Structure 1
Amino acid sequence: MAVSEGREESGILEKYLTDVKAIRDSGGGVKETSYYPALSNLFNAAGNALKPKVRCVMNLRNLGDGMPDGGLFTADQFQRQSEGAPKAGQLPARGAIEAKGTKPNVKVIAASQQVKDYLNTYGIVIVSNLREFLIVERGANGQPVEREAFALADDETDFWQRKAAHPHGTAVLKGGPFAEFIKRACLHAAPLNSPKDAAWFLASYARDALARVERRKELPALQNVRSALEEALGMKFTDEKGEHFFRSTLVQTLFYGVFSAWVRWHKDSPGSTAKFDWRTAEWSLHVPFIRTLYRQVADPDQLGRLGLVETLDWAAGVLNRVNRAEFFDRFEDEYAVQYFYEPFLEAYDPELRKALGVWYTPREIVKYQVARVDTVLREELGLPDGLADPNVIVLDPCCGTATYLVEVLHKIAETLREKGGDALVAADLKKAAIERVFGFEIMPAPFVVSHLQLGLLLQSQGAPLSTDERVGVYLTNALTGWQPPKGPKQRLLFPEMEEERDAAEQVKRDKKILVVLGNPPYNAFAGVSPEEEQGLVDPYKAGLNKPAASGGWGIKKFNLDDLYVRFFRLAERRIAEMSGKGVVSFISNFSYLGDPSFVVMRQRFLAEFDKLWLDCMNGDSRETGKLTPEGKPDPSVFSTDYNREGIRVGTAVCVMVRKPVRQKKPTVRFRHFWGANKRVELLDSVNAKNVDRAYTVADPRSENRLTFRPEDVAAHYAAWPKMVDLCAIAPFNGPVERRGGSLISIDRAPLEVRIRAYFDSAVPDSEVAVLHPSLMMTGNRIVGPDARRKLLKEHDFSREAVVRYPFKVMDLRWAYLANIRPLFSEPSPHLLNQRFEGNAFFISRDTADKTPEGSPFYFSRSICDYDSISGHARHFPIRVKNGDRLEKQAEATLFAALGEEPEVDKPVANLSSAARDYLARLKIRSLDDGKTAKLIWMHALAIGYSPAYLTENADGVRRDWPRIPLPGDRKALEASAALGEQIAALLDTEADVPGVTSGKIASVFKTIGLITKAGGGQIDAAGSDLEVTAGWGHKGKEGVTMPGKGRTQERAYGEDEAKAIDAEAAARGMSAEDARLLLGETTCDVYLNGAAYWRNIPLNVWEYYIGGYQVIKKWLSYREEGGLGRALKPEEAREVMNMARRIAAIILLQPKLDENYRAVAAAAFAWSSQ
């Protein structure tokens, strides 16, 4: 059988109704045969989306028992490439079609002798009167059996006057379910023997069921179920997203319940001819919540009005068609999620699947965690039987489909059998599953699956659950209910839900849990608003934003909202504070390993646990681009055959143990796993004789914000000042636009046109929106029509506000940058106040968030975008002016640094009192002079572009504001600052650099980045030769530009290029070999398109990063013709050439930069004495 590639649009129904209406309106048709083409087009449109494709042929020849009106054939029944008749003598593989006019009832047609005769030959007949469709199949006794039906209208009049008369309106209401039905009709006779095929059919019925629920979403009985679920779980389904989420999950749960009951029914060996009935299945007795739902669905006075019984009957019917022998050969009980539920969710609701994330935790990860927990119980807590010890109580607080619990029971069974395994092992296993291996799940659908998986496991082990038994998985919010309620216990509408809640709370409050493990969710579900969880992570925020001088951590911005953080706090509290000993093992987002926001969380782990083993699985799209340090693919560990994308964030596995007798100092062990084979490598590592030997012992200290990552930092790094120790006033954030680029433009003219129009009251909002829709957007700090009217009263267009604006490193654009909220979402007004003649800005960030990052420093005469460097651009003005330009707090800080009140509007050096004292010790005077004010910042720039500095202090530089060594004497400072001046000049794309971009250009730079015509000749600048179409970028989600692979050709240097490098090496007093090592052993030709390329961009120039971005490639990603809307101008094409030359010049300075850094570091000023 084949499954649909995607959800069908309502266009199938609209086209069908349009066709039949046109035929009737023509007045020339007959009641039956004239409509054959419309029916044929209908079935072909649906069949075209299937594999193999299904084609409809009308007017079949007589193959016995008469001539049906049509038949459904699969593509392989036709001659190759044939559009005509199928191969002679073949019956239609997917059944016959019998069509009549709109007058007779479809059931009357189905009961006719003619249809009975057709069934004898064809087995299945799809009967239609144009307005109704009915699938009829030959029963066991040869009699017709009616299966699915679909009615477009109540009767003939309704069809012609209301439904067919309005094709589009009818399609909006019924198009989706109708298209699903027609596809199922095309597949009804298909072999059904694989889990994926069954998943598609059940998902199709579930979509039909969901459509019915959505039509009756205000039904009081449905609201009652929602309210009961909210009360039982302590959460709310808020807004329309949450409401839809509830309804979609409800339907999903019902169908999983039917499938689960069918699987269990099969396991009871009912015989090959037995038929499954979901109403009588005993499986639901083990899951009271499901029993309640089914009772509600079947009750005409409750959810029966939704009409779901019919869709559940269809589901049972298709399951009865499954070739069970073949199906269960392919269906592995323990991996039901991978084999059935993931495909079901993908077909049922891809958006919901995306929102819920990955259900399936790869088996290698699960096996590894369970094995490690078992070992730690034995070796660290003195329990020789590990998980098999009857006193070990296990909890997966977010158990999903019970993958971890299944593996825990396998490990228990393995241990029991290794001990000699008598005939009571199965009973021991069942007792563990009921009494001490617990799971909590807040989502009803995976909760159903978990019960099936555990039930199947016990059945396979010879210990099936009896009617009155259930496993210890509970539908509950794991993050609430651990303390008794302050008032009377809330009564719930359904007794079964109340029983479920009470049983879960007994586990939470009375069981001495020794192991907490699992894969906690990373994000909260859309539209679901938990009520009791808000204060759970407050202990992880204690002292975070308190100044370091006052005993805090000085972290002003932090994000601890991800859901997995709450589960860590739950596990910590449960093991450390309630049980007093135990083990925690999660796989989760890896941010907590070293991100500054998580420093207090790490502090608590160090206080509450004795040993921590951390396996960093990497695979992060933002930080490493899913690449190994060698540049090879590093996929998410969740990337599987069923979910190749995996997840975007990097992950880590932790195992943390708290001993009853505490260690004086905790031990933190850390290791990395990289590459496509890391899951296997992780699991294999459990077999090592000495697991600890593979780890590096980390050294969490307050100086490194208690990072769990072993650090690569020079011995004296912590003694050097941070960048923020050098400035008088705290750095300013760069401006934040968040207006879809409407205030920023590569070209000045269109920006001026649209902003002039925006400030012209004669131009209506609609015309402004045409110029750039985002100018009239609403949302964050509203800038829609109301805001425009307000701004028009207070502001006029100012040509002076159109300024040069570094959007990214070396990517200079235009921006309308004025202190007008909410035009820019956050214009950073106090930073704008520091724009004055002769001033400039040193730029860095507080924490790195990309790898590789390159230098974390930038320098600009213009204010740069907030995201011009990754980690956010924080601006250090070289000089500052006082008065209204500064906030009161900054003004006071400046006063303290100067030791006197600064004159209003007189620029003074942005240097802290400690930095001023340092310069004074070097006998440097006139600190507020423009040149002197830059000394320290230019020195910092020189240090920050030294590869030796970045390598030797990599982890220190990444985790916080970079620290830099200060020279111990004036001469060394001035020499270092002179190097920094060279770097600043090379970064300033608005100023020529003699010898590099202007004047007599050095021979090596002459050869770099030449715009070249493929095949030779001259570039047609007026044609398409300068269009960037090589795939360097594309528009992603919400219009964000995403980089592409583009096209480069790596090659050896040409003879002239090599000679130029040799000459430059000689001029700089270095060997040719060293020069090639610096620039790259090979070079690249970088293509705009198939006709033009930039010739000779040395490999290390092409791969050069500043502030987390690959400079030239990032620039190109925004110039792809599809986004830019035009070809490059000649000066823009040459800008890439000049960028390459500037970067090459920086790279050729690296030996001097490294020499300077090492000399300064070796004789650094003793800043700690300040």
Structure 2
Amino acid sequence: MDIAGYLDRVRGIYASGQATEHSYRPALAALFAGIDPALGVINEPKKSDAGMPDFLFERAGVPVGWAEAKDIDKDVIKLKGYSVEQRKRYERAYPNLIYTNGVDFEFIRDGARVHFVSIADFLGKLGGLQPLPDRFDELVRQLRNFAAAQPISITSAKKLAEVMAAKAAIIKDEVGIALAADPAFHTALGGQFKSFKANLLPGLEPDEFADIYAETITYGMFAARFHDDDLTTFSRAEALEKRPASNPFLKGLFEYVAGPALPRRLTYIVDDLVAVMRASDPHSLFRDFGKFTARNDPFVHFYEDFLAAYNPKKRKSRGVWYTPEPVVDFIVRAVDDVLRTEFGLADGLADTSKVTVDWDTGTNDPKTGKPVTTRRKVHKVQILDPATGTGTFLAKAVQLIADRMKARAPGKWSGYVEADLLPRLHGFELLMASYAMCHMKLDMQLTQSGYKPSSNPPRLSVWLTNALEPADREVRDLFFQPLADEARGASAVKRQTPIMCVIGNPPYSAESDVVLDALGDTSHWR
């Protein structure tokens, strides 16, 4: 690694008077390539408007470092304007980072400055660059130390949440830029925005969609990794293959994420997220899931850590608050007790009796134009958490029911789950990360209870929807079929399912005057 030769080249480019920021890139690329023959150096990797650092360093195809190159007259320490926010994003997202203007090199590890070295003084247009040869060896040592960094290894749930949040922030930026470049929303991504707006959030704006979509990809990827038995490999294609069978919505999303239609500007950061997941073992991070204490639900803490790093304001603006575990236990057991003592249902929440209701078929009579209904038997004890969050109340209900039914007939538990539990256990959630975590938590709760899925198990009746929005009888497919199917499922619960038990910490909206009258209709079970 010839620092003197590199600096002579840089000085010559500067002296030409015609140099731009990009004029110095070939010299920098050559300098970086000389660090270690086994180190791959990529200049402008999958270039993105929102900001991938200018250089990517790989070892055996695994990213180990990044570098951002500024123009030679820019102070890499005292950044201004957009560059300040850009640097903050990079520090959160890239654990082994160099900031350089070609002569000043700042080394940043895990968001903290670890070293700074300058190999020349910049004396302005007249003075040019004055070499500092006594610093050359220092730069060589630091570059070699930088290159020796090991691929990211994540050994705590808190660290994983923070790294995921950093990647999600950049995904959000990229999605926002992609939508801004498609004002008519003609692309596949634009079509998904229109579908989210039509089926989930009527007042949705592109920047809000970017936020939701970032959480969707991030937590969908996490859910896929959670279901991955082979920790040695992971890819976007594997994320599609490993996605939870109980969640068709995430399957539909990852058919897009894993396919060729994913915008180029999103590919690089999604692949970065894949690398993060490949470096983690969610099974070990959540091995104590079943060991609840009054203050220890790992899923809750994980999401709180994620929000604190990604968007702490969202916790307040969207009412993301959690009920203490003893309160959850009390509420679920109290509902169970009321069912047994006041309604004469000996099995309480585990009851399997059914009632007959009028069920809208979704078609209209050709003569009268009125909805065609049919008589359908459904479970009497229908349970709903209208703001389920990460699924704490539903998981507690599953635990109570499992203990009761397995004590009576342990060999019939799996059949009971599919025939008499999943069809009547419902949840609504508006935040994508919470929604994905809820599916994961219930999957894990059922697995740990001894449930063995059949060849065609029913999906979990946990839906991505706003509980305070009334349901539509007709749901348009628009551009993203999985979300339309999600809206139909939520609508069926809202409009037609005779909910008997509402548990949880309900959604609040001071500005909403929506009243879900159907939830107050007691005629079907009195």
What TM-score do the two structures reach when normalised by structure 2?
0.68
Whether 1:316 and 2:274 are equivalent positions in the alignment is: yes
5 Å matches for 1:881-900? none
SS in 1 for 2:384: strand
The 1:251–1:483 alpha-carbon spacing in structure 2 relative to 1, beyond 3 Å, is: closer
SS in 1 for 2:476: coil
SS in 1 for 2:273: helix
Aligned with 1:217 (options 179, 196, 215): 179
Partner of residue 196, structure 1:
158
CA distance in 2, matches of 1:146, 1:230: 37
Residues 467-525 of structure 1, C-alpha deviations (whole Å, 9 max, x = no match): 6641111223333445746xxx53432222222222222223332221112212233xx
The 1:389–1:490 alpha-carbon spacing in structure 2 relative to 1, beyond 3 Å, is: same
The 1:461–1:126 alpha-carbon spacing in structure 2 relative to 1, beyond 3 Å, is: farther
Partner of residue 384, structure 2:
395
Partner of residue 252, structure 2:
292
The 1:426–1:522 alpha-carbon spacing in structure 2 relative to 1, beyond 3 Å, is: same
CA distance in 1, matches of 2:395, 2:237: 28
Amino acid of the structure 2 residue aligned with 1:519? N
Partner of residue 404, structure 1:
393
Aligned with 1:115 (options 36, 55, 60): 36
Question: How big is the shift at 1:372?
Answer: 0.4
1:396·1:405 contact (CA, 8 Å) conserved in 2?
yes
Question: How big is the shift at 1:146?
Answer: 4.0
Partner of residue 459, structure 2:
470
5 Å matches for 1:783-822? none
SS in 2 for 1:217: helix
Partner of residue 454, structure 1:
442
Partner of residue 428, structure 1:
416
Amino acid of the structure 1 residue aligned with 2:441? Q
1:184·1:201 contact (CA, 8 Å) conserved in 2?
no
Whether 1:417 and 2:406 are equivalent positions in the alignment is: yes
SS in 2 for 1:192: coil
Amino acid of the structure 1 residue aligned with 2:168? A
CA distance in 1, matches of 2:476, 2:257: 25
2:463·2:490 contact (CA, 8 Å) conserved in 1?
yes
2:33·2:41 contact (CA, 8 Å) conserved in 1?
no
Whether 1:517 and 2:489 are equivalent positions in the alignment is: no
Amino acid of the structure 2 residue aligned with 1:438? H
The 1:467–1:202 alpha-carbon spacing in structure 2 relative to 1, beyond 3 Å, is: farther
SS in 2 for 1:236: coil
Deviates more, 1:475-484 or 1:207-216: 475-484
Question: How big is the shift at 1:406?
Answer: 1.0
SS in 1 for 2:410: coil
Whether 1:262 and 2:221 are equivalent positions in the alignment is: no
Structure 1 segments unaligned to the other structure (5+ residues): 1-28, 36-100, 120-124, 138-143, 524-560, 582-659, 661-1170
Partner of residue 103, structure 1:
26
Amino acid of the structure 2 residue aligned with 1:413? A
Amino acid of the structure 2 residue aligned with 1:295? E
CA distance in 2, matches of 1:468, 1:280: 21
2:226·2:283 contact (CA, 8 Å) conserved in 1?
no
Partner of residue 193, structure 2:
226
Residues 931-967 of structure 1, C-alpha deviations (whole Å, 9 max, x = no match): xxxxxxxxxxxxxxxxxxxxxxxxxxxxxxxxxxxxx
Partner of residue 61, structure 2:
145
Residues 879-913 of structure 1, C-alpha deviations (whole Å, 9 max, x = no match): xxxxxxxxxxxxxxxxxxxxxxxxxxxxxxxxxxx
Partner of residue 248, structure 1:
211
Residues 805-835 of structure 1, C-alpha deviations (whole Å, 9 max, x = no match): xxxxxxxxxxxxxxxxxxxxxxxxxxxxxxx
Whether 1:180 and 2:92 are equivalent positions in the alignment is: yes
Whether 1:577 and 2:489 are equivalent positions in the alignment is: no
5 Å matches for 1:262-281? 262-265=225-228, 269-270=229-230, 274-281=232-239
The 1:562–1:321 alpha-carbon spacing in structure 2 relative to 1, beyond 3 Å, is: same
Question: How big is the shift at 1:178?
Answer: 2.9
Partner of residue 13, structure 2:
none
1:395·1:515 contact (CA, 8 Å) conserved in 2?
yes
1:482·1:508 contact (CA, 8 Å) conserved in 2?
yes
Partner of residue 348, structure 1:
310
Amino acid of the structure 1 residue aligned with 2:155? N
SS in 2 for 1:286: coil
2:423·2:461 contact (CA, 8 Å) conserved in 1?
yes
CA distance in 1, matches of 2:406, 2:494: 31
SS in 2 for 1:196: helix
Which of the two has higher C-alpha Rg?
1
1:332·1:339 contact (CA, 8 Å) conserved in 2?
no
CA distance in 1, matches of 2:93, 2:482: 35
Partner of residue 375, structure 2:
none
Higher relative contact order (CA 8 A, sep 6+): 2
Whether 1:444 and 2:407 are equivalent positions in the alignment is: no
Partner of residue 327, structure 1:
285
CA distance in 2, matches of 1:332, 1:310: 36
CA distance in 2, matches of 1:201, 1:230: 29
CA distance in 2, matches of 1:337, 1:167: 38
CA distance in 1, matches of 2:311, 2:270: 18
The 1:184–1:208 alpha-carbon spacing in structure 2 relative to 1, beyond 3 Å, is: farther
1:205·1:315 contact (CA, 8 Å) conserved in 2?
yes
2:65·2:95 contact (CA, 8 Å) conserved in 1?
no
SS in 2 for 1:514: strand
Residues 439-470 of structure 1, C-alpha deviations (whole Å, 9 max, x = no match): 12233332222211111122222325456641
Aligned with 1:304 (options 234, 259, 263): 263
What TM-score do the two structures reach when normalised by structure 1?
0.32
Amino acid of the structure 2 residue aligned with 1:198? L
2:216·2:433 contact (CA, 8 Å) conserved in 1?
yes
CA distance in 1, matches of 2:153, 2:247: 32
Question: How big is the shift at 1:311?
Answer: 1.9
Amino acid of the structure 1 residue aligned with 2:263? G
CA distance in 2, matches of 1:135, 1:483: 51
SS in 2 for 1:216: helix
CA distance in 2, matches of 1:317, 1:149: 12
1:296·1:304 contact (CA, 8 Å) conserved in 2?
no
The 1:454–1:152 alpha-carbon spacing in structure 2 relative to 1, beyond 3 Å, is: same
Aligned with 1:134 (options 26, 33, 56): 56
CA distance in 2, matches of 1:460, 1:110: 50
CA distance in 2, matches of 1:253, 1:372: 34
Question: How big is the shift at 1:236?
Answer: 1.4
Amino acid of the structure 1 residue aligned with 2:315? R
CA distance in 1, matches of 2:272, 2:283: 21
SS in 2 for 1:168: coil
Question: How big is the shift at 1:373?
Answer: 0.3
SS in 1 for 2:26: coil
Aligned with 2:300 (options 338, 361, 368): 338
SS in 2 for 1:235: coil
CA distance in 2, matches of 1:472, 1:357: 22
CA distance in 2, matches of 1:211, 1:234: 20
Whether 1:496 and 2:418 are equivalent positions in the alignment is: no
SS in 1 for 2:80: helix
Residues 576-633 of structure 1, C-alpha deviations (whole Å, 9 max, x = no match): 425444xxxxxxxxxxxxxxxxxxxxxxxxxxxxxxxxxxxxxxxxxxxxxxxxxxxx
CA distance in 2, matches of 1:417, 1:462: 9
CA distance in 2, matches of 1:326, 1:472: 27
Question: How big is the shift at 1:394?
Answer: 0.8
